[in-house]
Amino acid sequence: MTGKTLYDKLWDSHLVKQRDDGTALIYIDRQLLHEVTSPQAFEGLRIAGRKPWKLSANLATPDHNVPTTKTERTVGIAGIQDPVSKIQVQTLDDNCNEFGITQFDMMDKRQGIVHVVGPEQGATLPGMTVVCGDSHTATHGAFAALAHGIGTSEVEHVLATQCLIQRKMKNLLIKVEGTLGEGITGKDVVLHVIGVIGTAGGNGCAMEFGGSAIRSMSMEGRMTMCNMAIEAGARVGMVAFDQITADYVKGRDFAPKGDQWDMAVAQWADLVSDDDAVFDKVVEIKAEDIKPQVTWGTSPEMVTTVDGFVPRLEDAKDDVERSGFERAYQYMGLEPGQAITDINLDRVFIGSCTNSRIEDLRAAAAVAKGNKVADSLMQALVVPGSGLVKEQAEKEGLDKIFIEAGFEWREPGCSMCLAMNADKLGNGEHCASTSNRNFEGRQGYGGRTHLVSPAMAAAAAIAGHFVDVRQFELVK
Amino acid sequence: MKAFVKQSGIVAPMDRANIDTDMIIPKQFLKSIKRSGFGPNLFDELRYLDEGQPDADNSGRPLNPDFVLNQPRYQGASVLLTRENFGCGSSREHAPWALEDFGFQVIIASSYADIFYNNSFKNGLLPIVLDEAIIDGLFAEVIATEGYELTIDLENQNIVKPNGDLIPFEVDAFRKHCLMNGLDDIGLTLQDADDITAYEVKRKESSPWLF
């Protein structure tokens, strides 16, 4: 018998029932809830007269449209200026109270972006199945968990039954071997991967990241990579369990303690793909080939290196891509062949479920320290991923470094990643953003997003245009 | 959920790959706590020349005359013909809600993002996968023929062209069953409640920290 992949093992251990029609009932250990994709699910439960199957499996926090300014965050929900956002946050609060679900509300210092909060609390554990009505749930796969985004009907399904009806996906291994260069982060690696396989490259697959470069990466770097598996089309991103995983989880509030900890670690040790496991597809990447990445277009696969250029029409692989390039040049206001370092910026955003954890803020602060945000910039925002990340950053004095450099230091939330609150781009503005999607209008109507790592974003804020963070000391 | 057996309708062509969920329904409309009413804001940034606001009246807004759904010949379309990786991006079910609320019942593309594909079936919207070559042919016919209609026969898994030619398509048996009968799959899963409970008993023994 051949060995199993990590995905095979997670699938098998959560299989409640295999049905004759090829579908399977898969048990869900953890559901994270937020205000945008849950109201209709709770409404569905109410209409059908159903109760949550297992209350303790659920954890909620508002994140997508909470305001991030201090003035709007001092009096709770009543302080939210946007009346439509306020109703949504209030509805989450009401639903959690009515059904008895644990919520870190807006005034709780544990509040934050669901994908930062889950791991930070130990609510995401190795070997779990984790779902949330948000495509970036793939983040939690960094813990050798089976995690993916679901729609609102499925949120209701999980609330009511603790299960999902699934079909098994294919196994895809992204193997990154070698040593990453100085200044190269998980963000650069995953953007490079998307550039190689495309935004549909992982469709229908569970994507495992392996290889020596991943083994030596921190949990936060792994989370950034798994977070963006969905931008390569894979609902699921995963990294095998190892000592780095155990060290991160140990001692967190929701993590097992004492004897149960020892028992758990012994069980989790098996959460790796067997040496003889067979993947449907393997993509090999050399770590040494990866340079700092910048997206130039309106899809994450429209990515190049900081020393690169906006591609020309003749670089397109077919007619469909060529017309995509033409639309992207126009939307982004860029010329074919233009140097990436010649793109002038209007705003910079450091935050989102991709890059708002403490290591991200440390990396950005290291670049910002002693420098000033360029006068040409209208705004440079730093939005920590959770109240606890914010607290830690302030303990380390990172807030002061950012503020002295001219960045705004905000309260936790999704913020300008998707612009559901007041933090957004104006029409035609270029933004260096540590978020995950550069779709048209994503960060604001007519806004032009360039995805980068936190250090690259900070360097761009200071220069006013993109610069290679590896040479930043030389050019500033 | 409405049952889907056989539908005929005008086909609207959107010749563009990687149409993402932010394009299908921009984020400001996700603030609604309802499942309905998203139709007027479907493809909002492509359809109108100004920026849409939630809870606003859309009737007086300037339309983009170049956008396919604004062209008179495609009014009342219920079949959307498009390109690869349709529905990529977020998990927002507001995307199929908006398509369905607008009047679409069928999407035809060469591939879909996984979450969007799944969400569509939960809302009576049938996403059909066809080969790129067949899709190229359909684009040519739709553009050449005003009032071009297709009939989608889910039971027999065929698309019937105006000349009577059939294009067969694949669909998962379970999803087909749910769609044809308008079934709520929570009710179906709860028929297996004993299996779920038995699984929990076993899992509590092996991994007590999860309970």
What stretch of H or E contains A132? strand A129-132
Sorting pLDDT into bands at 50, 70 and 90, what band is B55? confident
Chain A residue with Cα closest to B209: A256
The pLDDT tens digits of the residues spanning B78-99 come to: 999 999 999 999 999 999 999 9
The CA-based angle A73-A74-A79, given to 5 degrees, is: 65
Edge-to-edge strand ranges of the sheet holding A170-177: A236-238, A205-210, A170-177, A281-286
**Inter-axis angle of helices A398-405 and A358-368, nearest 10:** 40
φ, ψ for residue A384 (rounded to 5)?
-60, 155
| Mean pLDDT (10-residue bins), chain A, 476 residues | 94 96 95 97 95 98 95 92 94 98 97 98 98 98 98 97 97 98 97 97 97 98 98 97 98 98 98 97 98 98 98 94 96 98 98 98 97 98 98 98 98 96 96 97 97 98 97 63
> What would the two tokens of residue B45 be?
């940034």
Closest CA to A244 of A202, A286, A186, A187: A186
pTM above 0.90? yes
* Strand partners of residue A295: A303
Torsion-angle region of A233 (φ positive above 0: left; ψ -120 to 50: alpha; else: beta) = left
Residue B193 C-alpha, separation from nearest chain A C-alpha, in angstroms: 8
Residues of B in contact with A267 (CB under 8 A): 206-207
Contacts of residue B72, defined as CB under 8 A and 6 or more positions apart, other chains included, come to none
Note whether B89 contacts A135, CB cutoff 8 Å.
yes
Strand A163-166 and strand A170-177: the pairing is: unpaired
Note whether A65 contacts B206, CB cutoff 8 Å.
no
Nearest neighbour of A235 by CB, restricted to B32, B114, B186: B114
Residues of B in contact with A420 (CB under 8 A): 27-28, 30-31
The predicted structure's pLDDT at residue B3: 87
Q: How far apart are CA A432 and CA B56, in angstroms?
A: 31
ipTM of this complex prediction, to 2 decimal places: 0.94
Contacts of residue A243, defined as CB under 8 A and 6 or more positions apart, other chains included, come to none
CB atoms within 10 A of CB B106: 25
Residue B85 C-alpha, separation from nearest chain A C-alpha, in angstroms: 6
Residue B5 C-alpha, separation from nearest chain A C-alpha, in angstroms: 20
**Inter-axis angle of helices A152-161 and B114-121, nearest 10:** 70
Report yes or no: B43 and B69 within 8 Å, Cβ to Cβ: yes
Among A14, A15, A16, the strongest candidate for a mutation testing the B interface, having the largest count of B CBs within 10 A, is: A16
Note whether B30 contacts A64, CB cutoff 8 Å.
yes
The pLDDT tens digits of the residues spanning A412-471 come to: 999 999 999 999 999 999 999 999 999 999 999 999 999 999 999 999 999 999 999 998
Nearest neighbour of B33 by CB, restricted to A16, A29, A87: A87
The predicted structure's pLDDT at residue B91: 94
**Inter-axis angle of helices A219-227 and A186-197, nearest 10:** 30
Note whether B84 contacts A200, CB cutoff 8 Å.
yes
The predicted structure's pLDDT at residue A20: 86
Report yes or no: B97 and B36 within 8 Å, Cβ to Cβ: yes
What's the one-letter identity of residue B15?
A: D
The predicted structure's pLDDT at residue A476: 47
The predicted structure's pLDDT at residue B1: 76
Report yes or no: A156 and A172 within 8 Å, Cβ to Cβ: no
Sign of CA dihedral A44, B28, A230, B87: positive
Q: How far apart are CA A22 and CA A466, in angstroms?
A: 49
The predicted structure's pLDDT at residue B32: 93
Residue A224 C-alpha, separation from nearest chain B C-alpha, in angstroms: 16
Residues of B in contact with A148 (CB under 8 A): 115
Residues 42-61, chain B, touching A (beta carbon < 8 A): 45, 51, 54-55
Residue B143 C-alpha, separation from nearest chain A C-alpha, in angstroms: 17
* Strand partners of residue A165: A25
Note whether B18 contacts A323, CB cutoff 8 Å.
no
Residue A269 C-alpha, separation from nearest chain B C-alpha, in angstroms: 14
Report yes or no: B91 and A133 within 8 Å, Cβ to Cβ: yes
Report yes or no: A447 and A434 within 8 Å, Cβ to Cβ: no
Nearest neighbour of A17 by CB, restricted to B123, B192, B211: B192
Using DSSP's 3-state secondary structure scheme, residue B203 falls into helix
Chain B residue with Cα closest to A205: B114
Torsion-angle region of B155 (φ positive above 0: left; ψ -120 to 50: alpha; else: beta) = alpha
Residues of A in contact with B90 (CB under 8 A): 134-135, 149, 437
pLDDT at B176 over 50: yes
Residues of B in contact with A444 (CB under 8 A): none
Residue A274 C-alpha, separation from nearest chain B C-alpha, in angstroms: 21
Q: How far apart are CA B134 and CA B131, in angstroms?
A: 5
Torsion-angle region of A268 (φ positive above 0: left; ψ -120 to 50: alpha; else: beta) = alpha
Note whether B207 contacts A152, CB cutoff 8 Å.
no
Burial A46-60 (b: 16+ CB within 10 A, else e): eeeebebbbeebbbb
Average pLDDT of every residue of chain B:
96
The pLDDT tens digits of the residues spanning B189-202 come to: 999 999 999 999 99
Residues of B in contact with A23 (CB under 8 A): 172, 174
